[in-house]
Structure 1
Amino acid sequence: MSKQTPGSPDASRYEALRAILRYARPHRLTFIGIFFATILAIAADLVQPYLVSIVIDDHIAVGQSGLPFLTGMALIYLGLAVVSLIFTYIQSNLLQYAGQHIVASIRKDLFDHISRLSMSFFDRSSSGGLVTNVSSDTETISQFFTQVLLSLIRDGMMLVFIIYFMFRLDTTLAWYSMLTLPIIATLAILFRKRLREVYQYARSRLSRLVAFTAENLSGMGLIQIFHQEKEQTRRFTEFNSDYWQANVQQLKSNVLFNRTFDVLGNIALVLMVWLGGVAVFNKQMEVGVLYAFISYIRQFFQPINQITMQWNTFQSTMVSMDRIWRILRIQPEIRDPEPQQTANVHLEQVQGKVDFNHITFGYNEGQTILPQLDLHIRPGEMVGVVGTTGAGKSTLIALLNRFYDVQKGSVMIDDQDIRRIPQEQLHRIVGLIQQEPFLFSGSIIDNVRLFQEQVSREQVIEACRFVGAHEMIMKLPQQYDTRLSERGSGLSAGERQLISFARIVVFRPRVLILDEATANLDSHTEQLVQKALQTVSEGRTTIVIAHRLSTIMHADRILVMEHGEIVEQGTHAKLLAQGGIYAELYRHARQAGHDVAEA
């Protein structure tokens, strides 16, 4: 037997298997119950032919049976059938209960783990692939606990019981039956590789189809804007056809495998009938024994067939377990500080002073986005940030939210390095409003308070009044109880943005960041949002990344970034007077017809 070297695919898969099976430990008693229920169900089922053989040989054949005896034996036979039914039902329900609980726990832990991973992980991973992990891969693991495990327990024990009864009835015929085992093993080995290949191919085609569908649904707006419906439908049809062909190949292989086993079983049955018939004719075997033996040999191939077929599912399960385990063992790059290093921060006492102390950062090794940037923002100051695409504006914000850690230097709030502040506290201190506000499926109330029940309805309504969203909400069918669909469809961009402003009022962060928050708004809606911005920024340190210069013209200070460096800074009037990059941006904005005032 070859050794599994650390890091090899087989070693990785068995490590994943051990990790996933740890989820079964809390259900040990349930699995013990499954084991004993299976023994009772199988025993009651397989005793029936043996009982009939005794009735035939020891009573009917010698004329010692009457109607009362036959009635009694029939009732016993019926009772055994009922016992088998009851314990099979109990075994199946217990297994489904344990299996579904285990898979639900895995799915919950997987989603929770993914939600805690750093943003760099999502930069490298497609959303469609993660959807496949959470849905399709966990469903495959569910099949392991509800199908593979059931087959190993039930069919394995049934095979042992059948062999026991066969040897108890007639040793010679039993040994003849055992001659089929090497043939069965050879067939299983020959088919196993083919079955594994077609099954894995089908799973990979399904994963690709699910990932493509998820990504298209999330980008449906872009598809329709650029009239990509036909092209995307063509690609979907291609992926769907690949999955269909893979399923057909899998079905053909399964049918060929099953029919081969059926033929082998029928050949063995004919052989046993012929050998047993000769033995009965020569008075070397009783008729009842032959009847029972034929019953057992007909059942002999069923558990072997089932166990062999489940090998295919087991291989697929191992692949899914490995993929899930690869995610579960990823450690977040951004972690909370150790208790002894945690800064003692009181949220109500935070002033909002922000310092970027000679920071250096790049998303990839060898790539520097911010080289030695030094920036200091006073408590309560409103700072506007402008610059061309790729200047490093959004990177600055990502570092302040600690989506990433700087490679050199430090980011500090109130003279505390944010790496020493727990992330939950940091995200209460720093509030972020993005260009496209994200709304969840749920009521407006829940979207404002983000499903945190400790925030009262009155606080939500007061926050919406504060930012000017109340009148808009009161016009909706169920007002604050109006349920929004995914991403808040049905509301305009400005209305969704006002709800995101209300969140800021509810959670009261000391540092407020607006990342292109008015870029997609018309002039009228922008004025409403501007008014809300002035309201929520009062008394808060505010950083505004602006596409429209009108958003930041009244800022205390405007920063102009280029290639990760601050090349200009000052008030709107001062920067215009300098006649530099900002003045050029302003002139282009006016020529483009953007709503900017005269200097």
Structure 2
Amino acid sequence: MTTGRRLLAYALLYKKVLSVALIFLMIAVGAELTGPFIGKKMIDDHILGVEKPYVEVNEKTDKTVYYQGNNYIRSDRLNNGMDSGKQINVVQVGFGYYFVNEPIRFDGNRKISGDQLTINNGNERETYEVKRLSKEEIFAFYQPEISGLVQLVLFYLGLLIVAIFFQYGQHYLLQRIANRIIQKMRVDVFEHIQTLPIRYFDNLPAGKVVARITNDTETIRDLYVTVLANFVTSAIYMIGIYIAMFLLNVKLALICLVAVPIIFLWSMTYRKFASVYNHRIRSIISEINAKLNEAIQGMTIIQAFRHEKATQEEFDELNNNHFRYQRKMLHLNSLLSHNLVNLLRNLAYVALIWYFGGASLSATGIVSIGVLYAFVDYLNRLFQPITGIVNQFSRLELARVSSERVFRLLDEPGTEVEEPVQKKLEGHVQFKDVTFAYNEGKNVLKNITFEAKKGQTVALVGHTGSGKSSIMNLLLRFYDIQQGDILIDGESIYDQSRQTLRKQMGIVLQDPYLFSGTIASNVSLGNEDIKRETIESSLKQVGAAELLKHLPEGFDEPVVEKGSTLSSGERQLISFARALAYDPAILILDEATANIDTETEAIIQRALDVVKEGRTTFVIAHRLSTIKKADMILVLEKGEIVERGSHEQLMQQEGLYAQMYELQKGAVANS
């Protein structure tokens, strides 16, 4: 499905409200566009209507004119029952009005000489005796037109009020729909991100993901709020104007219709160049966000190693690239936006002058002042929506590029989040001939086979890069294996949902992550099934109550992002309490005591003896002194298990484990 269709699909989620908004818009446009027609009627029927033929009548009504002892009424207002006499005319020449006491055979070029009116039209020429009207006499002839003019003015005022009401309604509804669409889109993107495999985030900076959720969706919101609303409004406005033009004059309307394909071709030309620039601009913005995120996260290291200047230069390079492409977009917009409108407007006025000028040269083709006024008015109105459309080209193209980026993220294959099956696992874990590679052809685990029974503690040791954390990533199904199988309680983990599997697991990382909130909310992570009593009990079991007693609000103490106001030991204790509160069947400790001082480690070690009771526990440790009581120790080297057994058994083998242990023991003794 194309980007445009997907954007339309989001809009159609609210098609009922959208339909109402479009109906409101059409009513508002229709009411507003009656203005020139009403103006035409006021000019032709009333202001210039005094030049229509009059007939003498005996009756006096509100539509008759009293002049020199006789009553006259316009011939088009003569009722069937009224007796009529001779026909007279009132003509305007220059700024004067003249009474002609006989019918005028044709109209044309008028000229006054004394009391003589001469009318020329081609080879025809007529002369009439006339009398110039005074101001009072002119007003007498206009008197019957006043009520009609007032009615038309009031009618148009009423239409404007209607237009204002429906214009507000359509604007409000379109804005509301736009905000709803973006709300839905952001929810969809955020939900989808949580279904993406961890592999997706390995090589993608967090700042780029954030840019797509915030910057790109905000640009799309601008598309719905401003661009599409403007396009829809302008399109309906233009359709209404063209309908009115065709009703006035078909030939000239066809000439003005040429503007539509010109706009289309111009937009295609614009998109060809703008697409390249906008793709680069959005990409650079993502890189800027990624660089800002990286700099803020690593500010301690930047300042400690005096890396400020180099970081500033890297940021300046990105910022300058962004400025360069924005300048190219500015040049493109300046070239292809306002110049187009000015060109079309001038061409339209040339066509108007040519057409009406030529028509006025022939008696058969002469047009009324009212039609001329209406056409000029409609032409002025026509270029307002054209200007609106052209001015939105840049935003439209930018939004299209942003949409592609967002939809590309949504198209990334994810895993559906399922409701976990309510079952309690025993915690019997088996790895059977497991081989795994993050990148094809580079295995980080090779033929891993071991078994961890319920309640056992299994320790994984080895040098950095030996595959310890990879084993735990596979157990949690952050990644899927290429060969072999992993079983829990005799059932393959690939035969159950990730949510069911992870519901039975708890993990404590070397660098615990805390979210904004409170200490208590970081233990429960907002899970309503975990009661306050369980939270407090978990914190007490890991010894956090004693360590956190200095905090003013205790377990309700606010926590900022990443828990930066707490010590590493306090953050780790909260992370331990989080794992315990979820009561897992399998507990994973990934270097959990690596960054903790000796006093805090002693507190945690005492708590772990209680916590591990009845649970299968996996411990990844560099400090081998912390795993001496493990039921089984697996020694990994280059992705393979090279030794296994208890601490005593491995020491007796005098292999790699014994060598590592003695080295650490000697280092501690020397310190």
Please confirm whether the aligned pair reaches a TM-score higher than 0.5, indicating the same fold.
yes
* Structure with larger RCO (C-alpha < 8 A, sep 6+): 1
Q: Does 1:109 align with 2:185?
A: no
Corresponding position of 2:164? 85
* Superposed displacement of residue 120, structure 1: 1.9
State how far apart, in whole Å, the 1-side matches of 2:25 and 2:627 are. 73
- Higher-helix-fraction structure: 1
Q: Give percent identity, aligned residues only.
A: 37
Q: CA deviation at 1:256?
A: 2.8
Match of 1:229 in 2: 308
Q: Which whole-Å CA distance do the structure 2 matches of 1:406 and 1:292 have between them?
A: 75
1:533 and 2:608 aligned: yes
Could you say if the C-alpha distance between residues 427 and 458 of structure 1 is closer, same or farther in structure 2, counting changes exceeding 3 Å? same
Return the alpha-carbon distance in structure 1 between the equivalents of residues 191 and 578 of structure 2.
Answer: 23
The structure-2 alpha-carbon separation of the partners of 1:496 and 1:157, relative to structure 1 and needing over 3 Å to count, comes to same
Pairwise CA RMSD: 2.8
Contact 1:501 1:536 in 2 (8 A): no
1:29-178 equivalence runs, <5 A: 29-61=16-48, 62=50, 63=142, 68-178=147-257
Would the alpha carbon gap of residues 125 and 180 (structure 1) be closer, same or farther in structure 2, given more than 3 Å must change? closer
- Cα deviation code 1:364-397 (max 9, x no counterpart): 2212222111111122112222100111101111
CA contact (8 A) 2:235 2:385 kept: yes
The answer to whether residue 373 in structure 2 is matched with residue 291 in structure 1 is yes
Matched-pair contact (CA < 8 Å) for 2:506–2:580: no
SS at match of 1:406: coil
Instruction: Using the TM superposition, give the Cα deviation of residue 235 of structure 1 relative to its aligned residue in structure 2, in angstroms.
Output: 1.4
Shift of 1:495: 0.5
DSSP 3-state at the match of 1:559: strand
What is the deviation of 1:113? Answer: 1.3
The answer (yes or no) to whether the contact 1:336–1:421 under 8 Å persists in 2 is no
One-letter amino acid of the structure 1 residue matched with residue 329 of structure 2 = Q
Q: Which residue matches 1:4?
A: none
Contact 1:198 1:249 in 2 (8 A): yes
The whole-number CA distance in structure 2 between the counterparts of 1:538 and 1:175 is 87
**Kept after mapping to 2: 8 A contact 1:280/1:286:** no
* Structure 1 position 67, deviation (Å): 5.1
**1:2-41 matched pairs, under 5 angstroms:** 14-41=1-28
Report the residue type matching 2:37 in the other structure: Y
2:259 touches 2:344 (CA, 8 Å); kept in 1? no
Q: Deviations over 1:392-420 (max 9, x none)?
A: 10111111112122222221222222222
1:463 aligns with 2:527: no
Cα drift, residue 82 of structure 1? 2.1
Is this contact kept in 1: 2:457–2:617, CA < 8 A?
yes
Letter in 2 for 1:490: T
How far apart are residue 306 of structure 1 and its match?
A: 3.0
- Where does residue 267 of structure 1 map in the other structure? 346
Q: State the aligned residue count.
A: 576
* Distance across 1 between alignment mates of 2:362 and 2:339: 33
- CA shift, 1:175, in A, is 4.0
Which stretch has the larger CA shift, 291-300 or 73-82?
73-82
Match of residue 558 from structure 1: 633
Match of 1:331 in 2: 413
Distance 1:65 1:189 in 2: 55
Structure 1 residue matching 2:443: 3-state secondary structure: coil
User: Does structure 1 conserve the Cα–Cα contact (< 8 Å) formed by 2:428 and 2:452?
Assistant: yes
Residue aligning to 1:397:
472
Of residues 518, 524, 542, the one that matches 2:617 is 542
* 1:435 is aligned to 2:510: yes
Equivalent of 1:445 in 489, 504, 520: 520
Distance in 1 of aligned mates of 2:571 and 2:20: 54
Asked if structure 1 preserves the Cα contact closer than 8 Å seen for 2:278 and 2:401, the reply is: no
In structure 2, which of residues 392, 403, 422 is the aligned counterpart of residue 321 of structure 1?
403
For residues 535 and 223 of structure 2, the distance between their equivalents in structure 1, rounded to whole angstroms, comes to 46
Q: Secondary structure at the match of 1:371?
A: strand
Shift of the 109–336 alpha-carbon distance from structure 1 to 2, 3 Å rule, reads closer
The one-letter code of the counterpart of 2:448 is L
**Distance in 2, Cα, partners of 1:197 & 1:570:** 61
Q: Find the aligned partners of 1:178 and 1:27 in 2 and give their Cα distance.
A: 33
Please tell me the residue identity of whatever aligns with 1:346.
K
Given the two structures, how large is their TM-score scaled by the length of structure 1? 0.88
> Partners of 1:188 and 1:136 in 2: how far apart?
25
Match of 1:422 in 2: 497
Q: Confirm whether residue 302 of structure 1 aligns to residue 384 of structure 2.
A: yes
When Rg is computed on C-alpha atoms for both structures, the one with the higher figure is 2
Q: Distance in 1 between matches of 2:485 and 2:262?
A: 70
Q: Out of 562, 570, 578, which is 1:503 matched to?
A: 578
2:378 maps to a residue whose letter is Y
Task: Report the Cα distance in structure 2 between the residues aligned to 1:544 and 1:252, rounded to whole angstroms.
Answer: 61
Superimposed CA distance per residue, residues 327-353 of structure 1 (whole angstroms, 9 cap, x where no aligned partner): 323333x6789x9xx9x8831xx3322
Query: Which deviates more from structure 2 when the two are superposed, residues 353-362 or residues 187-196?
Result: 187-196
Tell me which of 271, 284, 298 is aligned to 1:205: 284
Q: CA deviation at 1:295?
A: 1.4
Whole-Å Cα distance in 1 between the matches of residues 551 and 603 of structure 2? 18
CA distance in 1, matches of 2:437, 2:264: 57
Change (3 A) 1:459 1:594: farther
- CA, structure 1 residues 412+180, in 2 after alignment: closer, same or farther (shift >3 Å)? closer
Q: Tell me if structure 2 keeps the 8 A contact 1:269–1:294.
A: no
Please report how far the alpha carbon of residue 323 of structure 1 lies from its aligned counterpart in structure 2 after TM superposition. 2.8
CA distance in 1, matches of 2:21, 2:640: 66
Normalized per residue, which structure has more strand? 2
Instruction: Tell me, in whole angstroms, the C-alpha distance in 2 between the residues paired with 1:534 and 1:76.
Output: 88
Map Cα deviations across residues 147-173 of structure 1 (whole Å, 9 max, x no partner). Answer: 333233211111111112223223444
Are residue 214 (structure 1) and residue 201 (structure 2) matched? no
Match of 1:5 in 2: none
Consecutive unaligned residues of structure 2, counting only runs of 5 or more, are 51-141
CA distance in 2 between partners of 1:179 and 1:335 (Å): 51
User: Is this contact kept in 2: 1:498–1:532, CA < 8 A?
Assistant: no
Preserved CA contact (<8 Å) 1:17 1:322: no
Distance 1:412 1:175, change over 3 A: closer
Contact 1:361 1:408 in 2 (8 A): yes
Tell me if structure 1 keeps the 8 A contact 2:234–2:388. Answer: yes
Question: If the length of structure 2 is used for normalisation, what is the TM-score?
Answer: 0.79
CA distance in 1, matches of 2:259, 2:473: 67
Residues 595 and 135 of structure 1, relative CA distance in 2, 3 Å threshold: farther
- Greater Cα offset, 301-310 or 486-495: 301-310
- CA distance in 1 between counterparts of 2:431 and 2:257 reads 78
Which residue type is aligned with residue 21 of structure 1? Answer: L
Q: What are the Cα deviations for residues 528-556 of structure 1, in whole angstroms up to 9, with x where unaligned?
A: 33233333223321111002122212323
- Given that 1:380 and 1:539 are in contact with CA atoms closer than 8 Å, whether structure 2 keeps it comes out as yes
The separation in 2 between residues aligned to 1:402 and 1:370, in whole angstroms, is: 15
SS in 2 for 1:352: coil
